[in-house]
Amino acid sequence: MLRSFGWQELLIIGVMLGSLMFGLGFAAVMSKHAQATSESELAPGAWHPDPLGRHELRYWNGVAWTQYVSDDGAQSLDPGGPSGLT
């Protein structure tokens, strides 16, 4: 036998279903973000603007920032290194 629901029960059911749908959507977005982050961390080595701001460019080796820097096209080593950068 089917039972009819009052507006309070329908509201509770709606809130529960809405929360479930939001949770599933949020999990999908976070999964995509984690995948994009791990892919960017595995990017091939290349020259990028120095995140420390001490030089024009710093070399990213695909895993971490290196000591290799470039200013006005001249490459050199940063004696301070990229300590603390990942």
Structural domain spans, the chain: 1-42, 46-77
Residue ranges of E strands in 1-86:
46-49, 57-60, 65-71, 74-77
50 touches 58 (CB < 8 A): yes
5 versus 62: which is more confidently predicted?
A: 62
pLDDT tens digits, residue range 9-28? 888 888 888 887 777 777 77
Cα separations (Å) of 18 from 6, 10, 26, 73, 86? 18, 12, 12, 56, 39
21 versus 78: which is more confidently predicted?
A: 78
pLDDT band at 71 (very low <50, low <70, confident <90, very high): very high
Looking at the chain, the whole-number percentage of residues with pLDDT higher than 70 is 76
Nearest C-alpha neighbor of 57 from the set 85, 38, 76, 33: 76
